[in-house]
Structure 1
Amino acid sequence: MCVTCGCGEGEVKIDGVAGHAHEHGHDHSHAQGDLHSHAPGVGQTRMVQIEQDILAKNNAYAQANRDKLAERGVFALNLVSSPGSGKTTLLCKTIDLLGSTSVAVIEGDQQTSQDADRICATGAPAIQINTGKGCHLDAHMVGHALQQLPLADGALLMIENVGNLVCPAAFDLGEAHKVVILSVTEGEDKPIKYPDMFRAASLMLLNKVDLLPHLTYDVDAAIAFARRVNPAIRVIQVSATSGQGMDEWLTYLRAGMARTAAARQQTVAVLKARVAALEAQLQQAKA
């Protein structure tokens, strides 16, 4: 169950295949109880322990995902928002503007493959995770999806989470950053109503700003509310329709990819130096 709202996840499907229907080649444990628990009749102390266990298991899977992504120099983002914020439209436009940049997408929805189909229509590879009754993705699901997703070394990975401003805040997927998307068709006070999500995010995309002339929306108030709960959050105002702010968004993505590639190169250099040192020691021992 979800440790935040108590919903059950039901049958998880990845690209239409039930997540527990067959054996997988992944290298982590696959206990049927992982990330599923039931609250009825459970005391508060026991419930807290269950929640801690669930999050601990998730964090272990997340770290495994993060390590694998780092080994391949992949910059991964977890996109979170309310339903209807424009995540998928923004993703499609982003992929189009990035041109030859290698991008892959993991789509999270309770049902249907419509969003993954839209992504695939852009030419980018996408895997659909259907969470059933679940309200968010978790690191275990993402780990399975990564095994099937054609993901190039040095690529950009975008994980579009289930539309929900509550539960995804608690679940690390192995991403470099959470990016929260707030559309101007929502209330300015969303950040203080759902503070955990905005506190967990590194970047807020204020989306659909092309609609501002037709709305009574206070942009300054929305940004102030976001920075009340997270003073360090960066804000970019964007519109996939008009193109406003897209250059700044693409610059953010390219900078993240460059940092990830540099970190990978540094790790490789350190490992090569270590191997060279060990070989030198071996030669000295033989001399």
Structure 2
Amino acid sequence: MTSWTDHLIILPILLPLFVGAGMLLIDERYQQIKAFANLASIVTMGIIALLLMRAADLPTATGAAPIAVYRLGDWPAPFAIVLVADRLSALMLALTSLLAFASTIFATARWHRVGAHFHSLMQFLLMGLNGAFLTGDLFNLFVFFELLLAASYGLVLHGSGQARVRAGLQYIAINLTASVLFLIGVSLIYAVTGTLNMADLAIRIPQVPAQDRALLEAGAAVLGVAFMVKAGMWPLCFWLPTTYAAAAAPVAAIFAIMSKVGI
């Protein structure tokens, strides 16, 4: 990809971060202003995703699909925490923006007024989702998971009602447990391979000595359980129907993309 495209990769993370933080400074009485800022940010993220998709379709000199890598802090590989944009990640960014746009439009009917900071929470959720789709590092994936989950805790409790609070507390407890499993799995993999960079892992995993394979596979299994919980896959999907039924309609809609992160 071209250099200007490389710098686009960081924008789907920085844009919702600054827009969401800025909206926290606006009084809750000005919901229309917040809604406009939220929608403008989502549309901009959608345009960025389309530009990344277009760049990913341009063939390289070797004919392979191009992959853009953005090094946060400009550390060299494999120590760098990197963001990676390819066709799949760009497509998921576009899908996220499309779903977020529809959910926000629906929320402006009345849902964004039944609780505080709806639009800021939506932006922070999008920041976590975009980061999870773009990251090339397992620990960074954990960080973005926690960011999107923290925002989702506020969104699932958005509004009122005993059923929503009960389902929200169950949702929080289940996801905190899955996050602990995620961290344990990542720790075991790092203990064996000495890296969490996904591209570096692809090289090092086949070279792991036979005596360390059991620990590596245990870490992968624990990580797999965490992903199954977050993706709502059977038989670990018991939390999902209750949460989706109790959440506000636009919140349940945007939550549909969250399970795709686990997948």
Give TM-score scaled by structure 1 length.
0.27
In terms of fraction of residues, the more strand-rich structure is 1
In terms of fraction of residues, the more helix-rich structure is 2
Rg (Cα) greater in structure: 1
